Amino acid sequence: MSVLVVSPGRNPEAWVKALKNEHPGMNIYVYPEDHDKEEVEYAISWKHPRGIFKNYPNLKVIASMGAGVDHITSDPDIPENIKITRVVDEQLTEDMSAFVLALIMDKMRNISHYYSQKNWEPTSYRSIENTKIGIMGLGVLGKGVANTLKNVGFNVYGWSKSTKDIDGIHTFCGDENLTEFLSNAEILVCLLPLTPETENILNKELFEKLPKGAHVINVARGEHLVEQDLLEMIDSEQLCGASLDVFRKEPLPQEHPFWNHSKIKITPHIASVTNPKKVVPQMADNYERMSQEQDLLNVVERKKGY
């Protein structure tokens, strides 16, 4: 029984080292080195080449290297009997919460404005207690961000597909309550999982339901955003701007119009980065659980996509 590490474009050494430290007897292959596909029962993956997993007849589990799993679930060639797991890590949640808070405070206190304009003239700013933040997606990361912002003193609103009850957060669920939720989102944060239902959800129709002058933050997936609609809504002043950490194509091409737009702030997908040493123990745990035919932790519901 062997483990396959698949991470094109990433250095897998840290993952292999962490796996061997956690489970010295584990036999590990790194894609695309030569290996016996029939030996592999467990794969650890990030953005694998489409279709490769159908060639592993004994594969039982694919573990995502991060909290997101759309890079796995979007592959139609993965057999239905293979279980998919995701990472749940307190450090990822803390990092995401701190990053979103930093983006919000930068916007509210005009910090980037002063830097870019090199202007001494003070501008007015918003107070925390009078600002309404909307969080789209109340999973592990979304709930963590919502609680952090609530504890700072913001008025926090949350929206999710299913009902969520979070102390101190105004929660909404379902398409029928989306409009009311959006009307309260002066700053909108997208933390939705990427599924066929949420792809392109950040579009003109949605932006028009936000309060005029709203700011959009996307730290989920680039495919959530209809880019031309964002540009149109900013130029029409329906939106005052956006902070984007994720993009349809990464790295973002230098010729992309986002780079030169004064009201769009870009970061290179750094909101929350997985530390192999922190998350490999839960993968090794699931490896043992799989070996002993026990229930796995953090299993993804294939139909939901998260």
User: Under CATH, which architecture does the 2-89+274-291 domain have?
Assistant: 3-Layer(aba) Sandwich (3.40)
Catalytic residue chosen out of the listed positions 221, 224, 248, 289: 221
Please indicate, yes or no, whether the overall pTM of this predicted structure exceeds 0.75.
yes
Please choose, from the candidates 251, 253, 243, the residue with its C-alpha nearest in 3D space to the C-alpha of residue 219: 243
Residue with tokens 């989306």: 178
Q: Where are the domains of the chain?
A: 2-89+274-291, 90-266
The backbone torsions φ and ψ at residue 281, rounded to the nearest 5 degrees and listed phi first, read: -55, -40
269 assigned to active site? yes
Decide if 261 is catalytic. Answer: no
User: Tens-digit pLDDT profile for the chain (306 aa)?
Assistant: 999 999 998 899 999 999 999 999 999 999 999 999 999 999 999 999 999 999 999 999 999 999 999 999 999 999 999 999 999 999 999 999 999 999 999 999 999 988 888 879 999 999 999 999 999 999 999 999 999 999 999 999 999 999 999 999 999 999 999 999 999 999 999 999 999 999 999 999 999 999 999 999 999 999 999 999 999 999 999 999 999 999 999 999 999 999 999 999 999 999 999 999 999 999 999 999 999 999 999 999 998 999
CB 103 within 8 A of CB 111: no
Regarding the domain delimited by 90-266, which CATH topology (the fold level of the hierarchy) does it fall under?
Rossmann fold (3.40.50)
Instruction: Please report the beta strands in the chain, taking only residues with DSSP state E, as ranges in sequence order.
Output: 2-6, 27-30, 40-45, 61-64, 83-85, 132-136, 155-160, 170-173, 187-190, 214-218, 239-244, 264-266
Give the residue from 169, 164, 162, 159 showing the smallest Cα distance to 191: 159
The pLDDT value given to residue 63: 98
Question: Distances in Å between the alpha carbon of 74 and those of 33, 195, 202, 238?
Answer: 24, 8, 19, 33
Q: For residues 70 and 12, what is the distance between their CA atoms, to the nearest angstrom?
A: 20
Please answer whether residues 132 and 157 qualify as being in contact, where contact means their C-beta atoms are separated by less than 8 angstroms.
Answer: yes
| Bridge partners, residue 84, by sequence | 62
Q: Distances from the Cα of 108 to the Cαs of 1, 206, 232, 242, 292, in angstroms?
A: 54, 22, 22, 12, 52
Domains 2-89+274-291 and 90-266 share a fold: yes
Catalytic residue of the set 170, 269, 289, 302: 269
